[in-house]
Amino acid sequence: MADHYTKASFIIDASPSDIAFLREISQLDIDDIAEDELRDHYESCSARFKNAFPGSDADPFEAYRNLYSDPDFARPCFDIHYEGKLDNGLERVVVYGDQIEPETLANMIQASCPSALPTGFCYAYGCSKLRPDEFGGGFVVITENDIIFQGTQEGLRTALAQIDDEDERQLVITTRHPEHGMSFWNNDEGFGRLTDATVFSQREALNYDLPIAADQPEWTTMPRWPQ
């Protein structure tokens, strides 16, 4: 037997109303509410909560459960420590927990704290026994429309693969502009700076049609990792 845990501790700066909403969610443990009391408890929630998560006849918390990676286990598993009000009118809290679920927590922040976006957090996971590959972590980037995850195990596998195998390296689309020189493709903005380029995996590139440009675009291999 071994214990597994996923830990996080990070700062959120958001409007007072958003912090209040996040606090309400952090204190809502519907797994401890009897089924015949769910409707009354839902009606006691704030107007903002009910507007954000409209209930169904079968389950008043149905929309709220969709925040969870496992809707049948609707327990926030994080706490909030209030740090105070900032000069810009925002409030600062520390969000922390030692048994968090990164996807669920990211969903909750996106849903409750639009004034904090874009934001993100790092997390670490481990095991009470020294088992191989049971340790790692990652980070989450949260925007208004997206939640993006990057894990250390995935990064390690990619880095090792890229060292000796050029076919594992990532790609960008390039073209040459007569005035600006080399330009790099971005799916949303078109050709521009390398720093804004869309990066493709080898598999993604196989199914992607090259854009049209005066100078025929081509695939360019990114430098290997490490550099």
For 74, other C-beta atoms within 10 Å of its C-beta total: 19
Tell me the per-residue pLDDT of 127-183, one tens digit each, with 9 for 90 and over. 999 999 999 999 999 999 999 999 999 888 877 877 777 777 889 999 998 887 899
Task: Fill in the DSSP letter of residue 222.
Answer: P
Given a cut of 80, whether residue 225 has pLDDT beyond it is: no
- The pLDDT value recorded for residue 131 is 94
226 pLDDT higher than 70? no
pLDDT at 162: 76
Is residue 90 assigned to a domain? yes
Neighbours of 109 (CB within 10 A): 26
The domain boundary, picked from 110, 125, 156, lies at: 156
- Judged against a pLDDT cut of 70, whether residue 227 lies above it is answered with no
d(CA 174, CA 192): 9
Same domain, 178 and 147: no
Has residue 227 been placed in a domain? no
Cβ within 8 Å of residue 178, ≥6 positions away: 214
Domain co-membership, 9 together with 79? yes
In this predicted structure, the answer to whether residue 114 has a pLDDT above a threshold of 70 is yes
**pLDDT surpassing 70 at residue 16:** yes
Shared-domain flag, residues 101 and 211: no
Taking all residues of the chain, what is their mean pLDDT, rounded to a whole number?
92
* Backbone φ, ψ for residue 186 (5° rounding): -120, 130
Query: What percent of the chain has pLDDT above 90?
Result: 74
Same-domain check for residues 62 and 97: yes
Burial class (CB in 10 A: 0-12, 13-18, 19+), 44: exposed
Least confident of 35-44, 74-83, 216-225: 216-225
Asked if the structure places residue 226 within a domain, the reply is no
Same domain, 195 and 106: no
The number of folded domains in the chain is 2
Residue numbers of the domain that contains 193: 165-221
Sheet containing 119-127: order of strands: 79-85, 91-97, 4-14, 119-127, 136-142, 147-151
Residues 56 and 137 in one domain: yes
